[in-house]
Amino acid sequence: MLLVLLSVTLVFTSCLVVAQKLCLPPPGAILWDPNPEAVVHEVIWSYGSNITCHTKQDCNSSDIDSSETTTISPDDTIDVQLRPLQLQLGNVLRFVPKDIGIPFSIMPYYVDELGFLTCNTSRGVPVLTTETNKSFEVPHNFLQSGSNYFIVDSDLHPFISCEFGLRINVTVKSSSCHGTVGALCSSWGVCVTYVNQPSFGCYCCGNYKGENCDIFDSCLSHPCHNGGICYHPSNDSHELACKCPLGFFGNFCENQTEDLCDVIDCYNNATCTGNSTNFYCECLPGLTGTHCEVDVNDCDPSPCSHGTCVDKQNGYTCHCEPGFHGDNCSEHLRMCSLSPCRHGGFCHELISSPEQYQFSCHCRPGWAGKDCIEKVPVCKPNPCSRGTCVEGVNSFTCICAPGFTGSRCEVNINDCDPNPCKYGGHCRDGVNAHTCLCIHSHAGSNCQFTLDLFSPILEDTDATGGIIHNPRHTRNLYIVAGTLSAAVAIMILVLLVCYCRISGTYRSCCGMTNFIRYRRHRDDMTLNVDVTSASDCPLAVDSFWKPLDSESESLRNSSSRQSFQNHTV
């Protein structure tokens, strides 16, 4: 069992290595070295065309050919310097002073970018403690990831100067490739870098992609032939489909059609003719385009002289402006020939210019507006004084309120004509009503009742003149008659008493005992009369009274209440 697992592991590992070896880096790429400390880069500090450069193109080129001449643009020129160096993190950097026939000792400084551009040693620190003309390895603390700037400048030796080119930019590149040695980039890619790239990264091969070549994409192998476009019909990157160009078909666009008309469409009933490489759609009139899908604009240029053009297939229609007609709106139109005046209005032609015709309508009564279509409101304001206005055709009708008449309800109907008041009553006219002023012995709304105190009932007459007994009013008339009789009797009695008091005589009635007491209260006199027993009083009372002058006189002289004896007659 252990041998089986070991053999499987060895086979799997060998497959990964084979896959890694089969993925070749692209041209110009620099492979990541798994043993960076074994690689030594030397920088020769000296002068010469093969050592220094002063253009961007020359300094960034990896190929050095001094015999080749190139055109230099002003924007490409830079300060002279040693050719830039790019190395992998962990590589060894060695500085080598070159003998140029004079003592050539260097004291390199590690500076920032500004110190590199201005040759200013004060913007950095020395790499060594003393000058040297021997080669030496640069400490790793001066080789950080990114750009590292070194300059050499000497005040004692004018030929040893940074401005003459003794400065260099060393780029140290780290790696973002993951995995172990021999299995970087998920074993489906190689770890590489390019000139002027800041670091190493994965270059994926086959159907893999991603920062670490760990994403499978079946379209990366370009399976579609003949210019077909590969795509994923679902979210699964293992599935693929090909969108074939015109004339090709099949799962991978590997087949070519014999006649393109079998796979293309000619629209709008066009006829297709073609072969395996070409086709042609013969369009109907008014259509154009590769597939006859474009309608020819028959309105360009505009054929309508005085109107708006509406395009149609193989034709057009003109909507003419007022005053023009015809297929192209080029003919003047007599506006009155269209009978624009409605409801019997009269049309009159108006020609304001040779190209513009107008009209005017003289409307019939009751209508208005440019075309005589606006009805004149005859009931505004209301012409009916005492009624409701109803509009008609150029007329109106007044529906009068009760009691009024006339074409405009301006006449109050005379309700007293003929006179409705009977028995000579006077009629007073009102609004839809009348009032009767009756003469004596008549009453009622029309004086139709006759008042007779001695008649047991009230009489009225009907429409034929016959007598109608109205028992409904009998009781009321008796009450009126009785009340009047009582009032007359009271008035007679009051007059009689007043007469007796003025004459100063009092009589007594037969069979009555009259007690007449006088009582003086202060200066006024009050007469108290008590009458009792009146059983046999005669109807006539002419001789029953006698003068009481003597009794009245003695009463006036008395200071107390006195009683008088009754006189019996």
Residue with tokens 């960076």: 36
CATH, domain 33-61+75-173, list 3.30.70.100, 2.60.40.420, 2.60.40.3950, 3.40.50.1380: 2.60.40.420
Domains 33-61+75-173 and 260-295 share a fold: no
Pairing of strands 109-111, 146-151: antiparallel
Does the pTM surpass 0.85? The reply is no
Interval 210-230: pLDDT, tens? 889 988 999 988 899 999 999
Q: Among 163-172, 424-433, 494-503, which range has the highest average pLDDT?
A: 163-172
The domain defined by 260-295 folds into Laminin (2.10.25)
Q: How much is the pLDDT for 62?
A: 54
Mean pLDDT for the stretch of residues 68-72: 45
Percent of the chain with pLDDT over 90: 32
Interval 231-287: pLDDT, tens? 998 888 888 999 998 888 899 999 988 888 888 889 999 999 988 888 999 999 989
What is the identity of the amino acid at 349? E
**Residue scoring higher pLDDT (406 or 476):** 406
Q: How much is the pLDDT for 366?
A: 79
**Residue scoring higher pLDDT (283 or 8):** 283
Question: How many other C-beta atoms lie within 10 A of the C-beta of residue 556?
Answer: 10
Residue 549 host element (H or E): helix 549-557
Interval 417-469: pLDDT, tens? 888 998 888 899 888 888 999 987 888 889 988 876 554 444 555 544 444 54
pLDDT of 568 > 50? The answer is no
The mean of the pLDDT values for the chain is: 78
Q: How much is the pLDDT for 416?
A: 92
How many Å apart are CA 126 and CA 124, to the nearest integer? Answer: 7
**Residue scoring higher pLDDT (172 or 348):** 172
How many Å apart are CA 206 and CA 196, to the nearest integer? Answer: 26
Q: How much is the pLDDT for 474?
A: 55
List the single range of 7-16, 194-203, 427-436 with lowest mean pLDDT.
7-16
**What contacts 323, CB < 8 A, 6 or more positions away?**
306, 332, 333, 335, 355, 356, 357, 358
CATH, domain 335-375, list 3.40.50.1860, 2.10.25.10, 2.30.40.10, 3.30.70.20: 2.10.25.10
Mean pLDDT for the stretch of residues 397-413: 90
Domain ranges of the chain: 33-61+75-173, 260-295, 335-375, 508-563
List the single range of 109-113, 183-187, 313-317, 333-337 with lowest mean pLDDT.
333-337
Q: How much is the pLDDT for 77?
A: 84
Interval 284-329: pLDDT, tens? 998 999 999 998 898 988 899 889 999 888 889 999 987 788 888 8
Q: How much is the pLDDT for 73?
A: 56
**What contacts 28, CB < 8 A, 6 or more positions away?**
62, 194, 195
224, 244 contact by CB (below 8 A): yes
Interval 468-489: pLDDT, tens? 545 545 555 667 778 889 999 9
Interval 537-550: pLDDT, tens? 444 344 334 444 44
